[in-house]
Amino acid sequence: MVDLKGQYEGVKDQVNSSISNILDSSAFINGPDVHAFQKELEDYLGVKHVIPCANGTDALQICMMGLGLKPGDEVITADFTFAATVEVIALLNLTPVLVDVDPDTFNIDVEAVERAITPKTKAIVPVHLFGQCADMDALMQLAQKHNLYVIEDNAQAIGAVHTSKDGSKQKAGTIGHVASTSFFPSKNLGCYGDGGAIFTNDDDLAHTIRGIVNHGMYVRYHHDVVGVNSRLDSIQAAVLRAKLPKLDEYNESRRRAAKKYNRAFEGQEHIIRPKTVNGCQGICETCDCHVFHQYTLRITNGKRDALAQHLNDKGIPCGVYYPIPLHKQKAYADERYNEDDFKVTNQLVEEVISLPMHTELDDEQIAFITKTVVDFVNG
């Protein structure tokens, strides 16, 4: 699904020399690379504060702790996403409220969010799934109307650009009150272990969060709030520093691959291609709204599982993200949920399949993959 080795070749010299310097200096924790990476990412995103931490799941949890959410507060998020999002809500004894998604973008359905708002609702967590932003204009408007926080889960969309209805552009993860991201190796900006970060433009919240990631300390050995230990280590920061300058190029390679996939699947009766928010199908030459963390098709003639098996047999990696809606997971099932409210997710889990997507895909690979998919689906 990903080619980390191929990508490493392009940053090898810098990564190896930075890691070797860190080994020589023994500055493993809170070394200069961590601080430098923080600044470089702030500049790249155009956000006031980046707070590095240990992984994307911690980042989400720390966002919620930083906002002071309390047990019983309801947090609305998407039913169709990776479990980390709902997991941390539950861990903090907040009440997860899952809602359906949009069938075109796979992102949280804003009307479903609105219907789910109660007097206990405190926050909305849109997940910018597979690499493009949820409808942030509508979500921010809704949040303002109901006095809610918006926490962007930006683990899959770093570098994506969100264009508002007024034409203004912001990077994904800098629009809500606070955002989280993950630097897991297979993410669009991945390190060589675990890593994550929190972004915000709010000075007070940034201050609160800087203490939370460090055991609730604002002054050494004075623990003002209950915190956690969540750090990005120097070696991971050095890897990220080598890769950040190439992130736009990496995302452009993904978009190029997506365009080729899109062209090959054009006009296929049983294959729905991923739709981008501006309707250009990712084949417009200037589009920067989608960074294709995943390239996900919908197979509408019931052959998805058989296709996955066939691709495996042919040595083509593929993935089903995600096979089970969160509201049907044992850990998160709740009698309040009504199947009629999850029509889209329930259908998507039967139809979606993600094809190999990374920065090193070449034309020959794409031609082989697309021909294999088309022949099988129509066969």
Ligand X SMILES: *Cc1c(COP(=O)(O)O)cnc(C)c1O
Q: Which two tokens stand for residue 252?
A: 């452009």
Contacts of 4 (CB under 8 A, 6+ apart): 185, 186, 190, 358
Given a contact cutoff of 8 angstroms between Cβ atoms, the answer to whether 332 and 276 are in contact is: no
Q: Side chain identity at 243, as an amino acid letter?
A: K
Q: Interface with ligand X includes 57 (CB under 6 A)?
A: yes
Closer by beta carbon to ligand X, 32 or else 185: 185
How far is Cα 252 from Cα 358, in angstroms, rounded to an integer? 10
Among 18, 77, 105, 182, binds ligand X (CB under 6 A): 182
Given a contact cutoff of 8 angstroms between Cβ atoms, the answer to whether 268 and 373 are in contact is: no
Q: Kindly report the CA angle at 63 between 61 and 69, in degrees rounded to 5?
A: 85
Q: Which two tokens stand for residue 202?
A: 């709010």
Closer by beta carbon to ligand X, 76 or else 377: 76
The length of the chain in residues reads 379
Q: Interface with ligand X includes 87 (CB under 6 A)?
A: no
- CA dihedral angle for residue 82, residue 87, residue 90, residue 91, rounded to 10 degrees: -160
- How many other CB atoms are there within 10 angstroms of residue 229's CB atom? 10
How far is Cα 66 from Cα 178, in angstroms, rounded to an integer? 9
Which range binds ligand X by CB under 6 A, 13-21, 82-90, 144-152, 276-284?
82-90
Taking CB under 6 A as the criterion, which residues in 112-131 touch ligand X?
127
Which range binds ligand X by CB under 6 A, 95-103, 150-158, 333-341, 342-350?
150-158
Closer by beta carbon to ligand X, 41 or else 373: 41
Place of tokens 């969100």: 162
Contact pattern for ligand X over residues 17 through 46, marking x by CB under 6 A: ------------------------------
Given a contact cutoff of 8 angstroms between Cβ atoms, the answer to whether 52 and 199 are in contact is: no
Q: Interface with ligand X includes 77 (CB under 6 A)?
A: no
Please give the span between the terminal C-alpha atoms of the chain, in angstroms, as a whole number.
Answer: 24
Q: Interface with ligand X includes 56 (CB under 6 A)?
A: yes
Among 196, 211, 274, 282, binds ligand X (CB under 6 A): 196
Which entry of 122, 171, 187, 303 is annotated as an active-site residue?
Answer: 187
Given a contact cutoff of 8 angstroms between Cβ atoms, the answer to whether 97 and 70 are in contact is: no
Q: Interface with ligand X includes 239 (CB under 6 A)?
A: no
Least distance (Å) between residue 177 CB and ligand X: 17
Which range binds ligand X by CB under 6 A, 79-87, 118-126, 137-145, 360-368?
79-87
Which contacts qualify for 214-220: CB closer than 8 Å, 24 or more apart? none
Closer by beta carbon to ligand X, 159 or else 259: 159
DSSP state of 129: G
How far is Cα 235 from Cα 86, in angstroms, rounded to an integer? 30
Q: Interface with ligand X includes 53 (CB under 6 A)?
A: no
187 catalytically annotated = yes
Which range binds ligand X by CB under 6 A, 44-52, 53-61, 171-179, 217-225?
53-61
Among 18, 38, 156, 214, binds ligand X (CB under 6 A): 156
Which range binds ligand X by CB under 6 A, 29-37, 76-84, 112-120, 277-285?
76-84
Active site residues: 187
Q: Contact positions toward ligand X, by CB under 6 A?
A: 55-57, 81-82, 84-85, 127, 153, 155-156, 182, 184, 194, 196
